[in-house]
A = this chain, B = another copy of it.
């Protein structure tokens, strides 16, 4: 890969594809968008216009992702389609020797995760899993604290995708969103990686530790139906709809070294946004709910019952000393891009590793282990919360680090 511009094809032009294109990819001077792809014609036209405005050139547009992958000048594909096609497109891209940046989502089967791993091992085509929350400011601050030993020995973490999506799921006369069909038909921890990714990095998953087993339990589904009944549904069919997806799904994961991880999917009841990121060590904790750092020292212990009143938000103080180096630099240079800058940092890392031929910071083993949680959670729920084993997608290589 030369220091010349890298030619990119973007596959999937819904909200996520368009916003990444507009606010991250097209802002980069080292990248040129050569092809755009979606199954909807209007989206292709929208993306072509966007690219033309910035680059002065209309990119190739197509409804078939194979045409993007077969495009000789395309070196990198960015996959921002609905969840169901991520793996198929990524595997096709890697086989054709195109570097792959694949958006997040959960796996439908464990086999899909193996396909990703096996294809990468056969082709060694650069692959990054676009888990942007691994680049979140607090997530990286806490990773830095953990790596410096401030929180001691880490024994438990928790997090959630706690985001009221009732409007997004049920909106519109002609609903094109992949969430609707998934919520109508499946019951699973369908979106585990925003919280699991940063936690996995803290617990050194695939780098000396691994995810071993999980149980998953779903509440009944009440939120979406009530939401639709109390509003004028744009699509009258939704009034009759029965949603399989439980409102709250609690997944408990065990790790090889005895750590536990609790994940919560919480997207169809009224609430404020939170990833509930919490890290518990023998010397201290970080908790997103109170955005606070509690250390095992006299002045913190004495605030025991007064903690929320007196220390809520104290993480901002810790950030002055403990922000991760990449965030210190980012803040100095000026934060840009969607999702508070996380998306910018993840693409920065992707293109940097691509040029330097370094390993990707979120690799195919991470993708496989984290995405498998969805398929295995579906299995556990189907079996009445029975524990299920999480495969070792590294085939033992996690121990060699």
Task: Give A contacts to B, CB under 8 Å.
Answer: 152-153, 155-156, 164, 213, 215, 217-220, 222-223, 226-227, 246-248, 250, 252, 254, 257-260, 262, 264, 266, 269-274, 280-285, 287, 289-291, 294-296, 300-301, 303-305, 307-309, 311-313, 384-387
Task: Decide if A155 touches B220 in the complex (CB within 8 Å).
Answer: yes
Shortest distance from the beta carbon of A29 to any chain B beta carbon, whole Å? 30
Q: Chain B residues with Cβ under 8 A from A281's Cβ?
A: 269
Q: Chain B residues with Cβ under 8 A from A217's Cβ?
A: 215, 252, 254, 260
Q: Chain B residues with Cβ under 8 A from A305's Cβ?
A: 272-273
Beyond A226-B282, A266-B280, A272-B308, 14 extra complex contacts between A and B, CB < 8 Å: A155-B247, A155-B248, A164-B301, A215-B385, A218-B260, A220-B258, A220-B259, A262-B262, A269-B281, A269-B282, A270-B284, A273-B307, A289-B308, A290-B308
Q: Chain B residues with Cβ under 8 A from A269's Cβ?
A: 155-156, 280-282, 285
CB contact between A270 and one of B156, B266, B295 (< 8 Å): that residue: B295
Offer 19 A-B interface pairs, CB within 8 angstroms, sorted by A. Answer: A155-B248, A155-B269, A219-B259, A219-B260, A226-B282, A226-B283, A247-B280, A266-B280, A269-B282, A270-B285, A270-B294, A270-B296, A270-B300, A270-B301, A272-B308, A273-B307, A287-B289, A289-B308, A386-B386
Assembly CA distance A239 to B384 (angstroms):
41
Task: Decide if B250 touches A252 in the complex (CB within 8 Å).
Answer: yes
CB contact between A262 and one of B152, B250, B272, B300 (< 8 Å): that residue: B250
Assembly CA distance A311 to B257 (angstroms):
39
Assembly CA distance A51 to B105 (angstroms):
65
What residue in chain B is nearest A295 (Cβ atoms)?
Answer: B270
CB contact between A213 and one of B294, B313, B384 (< 8 Å): that residue: B384
Assembly CA distance A153 to B308 (angstroms):
28
CB contact between A248 and one of B272, B280, B303 (< 8 Å): that residue: B280
9 closest pairs, A vs B, by CB? A220-B258, A272-B307, A270-B296, A289-B289, A156-B248, A219-B260, A226-B282, A385-B387, A217-B252
Task: Decide if A294 touches B280 in the complex (CB within 8 Å).
Answer: no
CB contact between A387 and one of B250, B271, B308, B386 (< 8 Å): that residue: B386
Shortest distance from the beta carbon of A198 to any chain B beta carbon, whole Å? 18
What residue in chain B is nearest A283 (Cβ atoms)?
Answer: B270
What residue in chain B is nearest A270 (Cβ atoms)?
Answer: B296
What residue in chain B is nearest A291 (Cβ atoms)?
Answer: B308
Task: Decide if A219 touches B258 in the complex (CB within 8 Å).
Answer: yes
Task: Decide if B303 touches A247 in the complex (CB within 8 Å).
Answer: no
Assembly CA distance A264 to B227 (angstroms):
30
Assembly CA distance A266 to B155 (angstroms):
11
Q: Chain B residues with Cβ under 8 A from A290's Cβ?
A: 289-290, 308
Task: Decide if B300 touches A222 in the complex (CB within 8 Å).
Answer: no
Q: Chain B residues with Cβ under 8 A from A386's Cβ?
A: 386-387
Task: Decide if A294 touches B272 in the complex (CB within 8 Å).
Answer: yes
Assembly CA distance A334 to B280 (angstroms):
39
Assembly CA distance A303 to B133 (angstroms):
21
